[in-house]
Amino acid sequence: MSIAEQNNITELTGQNLNALVERQRSQFRAEGEVTYATRIDRLKRLKALIVENKTEFAKTTKREFGGARSYEFSLFSEFASKVEAIDYSMKHLKAWMRPEKRKTNKPMNFLGGKSQVRHYPKGVVGIISPWNLPFGLTVAPLTSALAAGNRAILKPSEFVPETAALFAEIVPKYFPEDEVAVVTGGAEISQKFAALPFDHLLFTGSSKVGAKVMQSASKNLVPVTLELGGKSPVIIGRSAKLDLAGTRLTFGKLLNGGQLCLSPDYVIVPKALEAQLIARVVHEAQSMYPNITENEDYAGIINETHFARLQSYLDDAVAKGAKLTIVGADQTRASAGNRRMPLHILQNVNDDMLVMQEEIFGPILPVMTYSDVAEVPDMIEPRRNPLALYYFGKDKTEQAYLLNRVQSGGVCINDITLHYVQEDLPFGGVGASGMGAYHGPEGFRSLSHARAIYSQTMIDVLPIIGARPPFGEKFRKNISKILGAI
């Protein structure tokens, strides 16, 4: 990185954050219409950024995980899927930008009145991204922001400083600062960033931090999209194919070492099927990740703080009566410097345990049991509004019962996490797991202003219906048709 680039990064992380927002907003105003061609050009540049720098970013993220991060997982989850999302947006952008015709009320519709909605860019969008998928969860919302015609300022997580620095080095090669800029720095800079007068702010992270971000944004009445987390349950129905459910549950739980906002947090299974499901999960974990603590396909815990947090959940659960099974290893860690934590299965859990109160974000799988599906909504209620709900089974009545009684951001039936990569589906939470959505058309709309436009001919409509003072009998009759006798 050149000295000039280093100085630029220092400047952006200092006292000139407001000036940066105003610089982008000034260029946004000067630009006027953000044409289809301009948006496509920006999306193509973003795609080139991904394709041309994937290896360096993937290697950097691996280093940030202490070397314990799957290179192939990074290539798929953070790069290939984001290229597909950009291609999808470019394919559909023209249709998204097209004005939407709307109905016009009588009698204006008979007198030349026309109504429509047009989606205009909001202006300057702030994006705060997390450490667990530091590239993908920066680029995904940026795709929606650029498709909607906005400019953007990125704030990568301070917990992955090398990745943040690489963003600050690479982004200026594809975008001028007044289009897309990068701000790096620690917690103090993040707090200042959340309080900037953006036209929209998108945050991905924990519910606790999300509440603080929303509070900061509210001081400038900045609308927010919050992508949070929560304890996403897996419900095993009696009609489920247990082998399939066990395979997909294990795969989803151990992706990135369980450090995904959509990771299945705990499983609820009929008591009679508990042993069979656990046996399948154990078998699949050992098949996918033999010698798990040295396995290059498996991700380690990001740092010692998070490792200690997970260990405290285990200690608390065991002390309160939970049965612990460690899969594929004799103990929680193979050595002091090895943070590849094997899968830990907890049975006999209850709501008093920390592991059932906090989002796990690691390879710990609590198992709860039920006798009747009618018990399940009340079992989930203390952990309400998860980001995802996972159901395995063929019983459509049972599916409908659960969907109508358990709120969640999104739903996957007979699979785990794959709703996230369906670009035509919105991705977002509800309640404690977030607000707003992005991806595909919802991302375009969330980061656009849906502008109501009504146009009328030169005919003066109001006197025709008597709606201009002095009001007379004609107007009262028109009102009485709507309200009844007046």
Question: Is residue 194 within 8 Å of 209, Cβ to Cβ?
Answer: no
Report which secondary-structure segment, H or E, holds 11.
helix 3-12
Pairing of strands 388-392, 410-413: parallel
Backbone phi, then psi, for 115, in 5-degree steps?
A: -125, 145
Q: Cα 354 from chain centroid?
A: 25
Any idea which residue has 């702030």 for tokens?
Answer: 126
Q: Which of 228, 202, 194 is nearest to 146 (CA)?
A: 202
What is the number of alpha carbons within 13 Å of residue 350 lying toward its C-beta?
6
Q: How far apart are CA 407 and CA 389, in angstroms?
A: 8
Neighbouring residues of 90: CB distance < 8 A, sequence distance ≥ 6: 40, 43, 44
**Please, are residues 189 and 166 in contact by the beta-carbon 8 Å criterion?**
no
Three-class DSSP category at 80: helix
DSSP secondary structure of 108-130: GGGGT-EEEEEEEE-SEEEEE--
**First CA to last CA distance, the chain:** 76
With vertex at residue 53, the alpha carbon angle to CA 48 and CA 55, rounded to the nearest 5 degrees, is 135
Give dist(CA 123, CA 125) in Å, integer: 7
- DSSP characters over 363-394: SEEEEEEESSGGGHHHHHGGG-S-SEEEEE-S
Distance CA 86, CA 147 (A): 9
Preceding amide of 470 cis, omega within 30: yes
375: number of Cβ within 10 Å: 13
Q: Is the peptide bond before 107 cis (omega within 30 degrees of 0)?
A: yes
Side chain identity, residue 7: N
CA-to-CA distance for 437 and 471, rounded, in angstroms? Answer: 46
CA distance 116 to 379: 46
Residues designated as active site: 227, 261
Q: Which of 412, 316, 406, 413 is nearest to 356 (CA)?
A: 316
Q: Are 47 and 140 in contact (CB under 8 A)?
A: no
